[in-house]
Structure 1
Amino acid sequence: MQILGFSQQMLTGAMVSLQVAVCAFIMALTIGAVASVLTLKPKTVFGAFWIVYASIFTGVPSLLVAFFFYYAGSDIIAGITGLFGAEKRIDLTPFIAAILALGMVYGAYIADLLRSAIRNVPKGQFEAASVLQVKKRFFVPLIIVPQVIRIALPALTNMWIVVLKDTALISLIGLKEIMAYAKLASGVTKEPFVFYLIASLFFLLMTSLTYYVSKHLQSWSDRGAAVYGKD
Structure 2
Amino acid sequence: MNNHNPIIALDFATKAEVFQFLQPFNEKLFVKVGMELYFQEGPTIVNALKDQGHDVFLDLKLHDIPNTVKSAMRGLASLGADLVNVHAAGGLHMMESALEGLEAGTLTGQSRPLIIGVTQLTSTSEQQMKEEQQINTTLHDSVLHYASLCKQAGLDGVVCSVLEASDIKNQCGENFLRVTPGIRLHEGQGHDQIRIATPKVARLEGSSYIVVGRAITQSKNPVETYKIVKQQWEANE
State the TM bucket, normalised to the shorter chain. Answer: under 0.3
Q: Which has the higher helix share?
A: 1
Q: Which gives a bigger RCO, structure 1 or 2 (Cα 8 Å, sep 6+)?
A: 1
Q: From the CA coordinates, give the structure whose radius of gyration is larger.
A: 1
TM-score by length of 2: 0.23
